[in-house]
Chains A and B, each alone.
Chain A
């Protein structure tokens, strides 16, 4: 299931603005990789280019290669819809579909993909995903109530359940806990630790402790100034990045002395 990602000399543009320059990195399968760095350094931009969500923005484009298990995502014969099916995404703000119940939200990916599944299969997948997202016990009695009626933390776990219901190989998470309280954050972090066994996970976070707690490897990005492109400064095992970073800027950022 899990797949590794190799990024090779990736430049990411918004129209003419170069937002991320020359990123090359390897993201290991069955591990959690954290992206850290100051605001505006292009973490979200890079993350979105890993499942071709970047090009949804008008004028946005990418140069370079993103290879998942030997397949370049930006090769001309690749269908972005197929890419997004195997590389799921969880957003910063919880975004359940407002017209749908909790059950329909989780099943949305399965149904809207056009896969013909029996109702029993769908129900089973819904339950597994909700259990996997640590939400089952809280919602099992009200699966037919609107998803938008849950609390923010529950909504975020609902979105995670929705993302894992389609059984992607890779899960991208853009600051998934930034709108959550410490308890929900803990639930999501535990979930990430569990999901590591089956998925390749990339998480963007501004929370150093969180990066240290949940990630195996950590990538630090930085930006030279406004209008300049963001760059990958260094990447390595989390333990090494947090104890003996090889670049001064990483050390400054992690120790809270940035800017």
Chain B
């Protein structure tokens, strides 16, 4: 750094290459090196280094120790556990659990922060505090999920029997009957919604990413997709209903109307997710394909889509999971019926969410010491819906993993 490099000895004429870069000329290059060129005037090597001698020493920085006192390993889980036990012991005295939980969380966080600060120093203490806050937030967020799952499983298993999967509500007044007609209806309407929205959504996303490339139309499309994503589901239902009133007259109730309403909700979800998936396909792959003389549409079909297929399939399943539980639009467009209807182009159709809703509204009369039979049927319908959504989520992950590009050897 401080001493200048030794100046090289002056070049003996035409004995050494004239440049510091040593080049071995290939045999195929025309001619050979000629010695009759004038000698290089300056000293090419030492000149660029001349400026390096003037560098001042860097100012000294405070040194950071490489070892630090730490809390015992068990501190992270033992402290919250201890305070939770304390909170549980306090429960019999009549304090509400809703108060105990936040108190336990706050006291544990404060305790571990202060303890850590006195032993480990400010940086580790802050780390522990943030860990405590994030963990608490996670636990609080889990409460509704666990509680819903627990309640639905608890109450839904009562009618989770063969009859529920094989019988409709036709002619049923009291207990008995089932949700067969609602299950088939949900499957038919959702499948129809997929048939409508998957092509539209995928093609729209492909246009936005592959062809639109930020032109005016694609910017407007993106804007409208975002607006569409904010449409309340009841409005989507009203739209589909109004649309079909123009075609089939007032009071129309058909599976297809519900499917259109669900498509309005599904398309923006699908477009947004697919756009993200297509955007993460590296541009180099498109260029590599185009440079081979492959037309754009084949590049998209054979390179871009296969590369992002896992992500696209996962977004489709998640979009389906998103709409399969919609109630309001289906209540308007499909209504409810007691019998099984396989034809989405005529008459009313039952679906699981609407079935759960109506069973809850008109549960029937309690008899023989049992509660109203409609409540049980509503819970079971809800349980089946949750199971379908969970299965779709798992399926989405499975698909994403199966189709992910392989890099292994």
Contacts and interface: CB of A to CB of B under 8 A. Distances in A.
B23 A212 contact: yes
B21 A255 contact: yes
B23 A237 contact: no
B47 interface: yes
B409 interface: yes
B67 interface: no
Given A109-B293, A213-B26, A256-B19, A243 B288 contact: no
A60 to B, nearest CB: 11
A133 interface: no
Contact of A237 (B30, B284, B289): B30
B294 A112 contact: yes
A163 B306 CA distance: 21
Contact of B213 (A51, A58, A91): A58
B285 interface: yes
A166 B298 CA distance: 16
5 tightest CB-CB pairs across the interface, nearest first? A85-B293, A98-B405, A109-B292, A89-B291, A212-B23
B292 A216 contact: no
Interface of B: 18-26, 28-34, 37, 40, 44, 47-48, 213-214, 282, 284-295, 298-299, 302-303, 306-307, 309, 405-409
Interface string A138-160: 00001001101100000000010
A222 interface: no
Contact of A212 (B26, B48, B213, B409): B26
Interface in A97-123: 97-99, 108-109, 112-114
B409 to A, nearest CB: 4
B407 A98 contact: yes
Contacts of A86: 293
B30 A239 contact: yes
Contact of B33 (A89, A108, A208, A243): A243
A86 B24 CA distance: 32
Nearest to B299: A112
B407 A53 contact: no
Given A208-B23, A237-B31, 6 more contacts: A56-B290, A88-B293, A142-B409, A208-B21, A212-B25, A256-B21
Given A82-B293, A85-B293, A91 B30 contact: no
Contacts of A214: 26
B21 A257 contact: no
A26 interface: no
Interface of A: 51, 53, 56, 58, 81-86, 88-89, 91, 93, 95, 97-99, 108-109, 112-114, 142, 145-146, 148-149, 159, 162-163, 166, 193, 208-209, 212-214, 216, 237-239, 242-244, 254-257
B406 A254 contact: no
Contacts of B24: 209, 212-213
Contact of A243 (B37, B287, B298, B307): B37
A237 B29 contact: yes
Nearest to B42: A257
Given A56-B290, A112-B292, A242 B408 contact: no
Contact of A98 (B40, B298, B406): B406
A256 B47 CA distance: 11
Contact of A56 (B44, B285, B287): B287
A98 B406 CA distance: 7
Contacts of B407: 98, 146, 148-149
A159 B293 contact: no
A155 to B, nearest CB: 11
B177 to A, nearest CB: 50
Contact of B282 (A95, A145, A159): A95
Nearest to A259: B48
Contacts of B31: 237, 239
B292 A88 contact: yes
Highest count of chain A CB atoms <10 Å: which of B285, B291, B405: B291
Contacts of B25: 212, 238-239, 242
Contacts of B309: 99
B35 to A, nearest CB: 10
Highest count of chain B CB atoms <10 Å: which of A58, A84, A208, A214: A84
B37 A244 contact: yes
Nearest to B406: A146
Contacts of A108: 289, 292, 294
Contacts of A256: 19-21, 44, 48
B24 to A, nearest CB: 7
B33 A209 contact: no
A243 B288 CA distance: 37
26 contacts: A56-B287, A56-B290, A58-B213, A95-B282, A97-B288, A97-B289, A97-B307, A112-B299, A146-B406, A146-B407, A146-B409, A148-B407, A163-B292, A193-B26, A208-B23, A212-B25, A212-B26, A216-B28, A216-B29, A237-B30, A238-B25, A255-B18, A255-B40, A256-B19, A256-B20, A257-B44
A159 B23 contact: no
Contacts of B32: 239
A84 B295 CA distance: 10
Contact of A149 (B20, B33, B409): B409
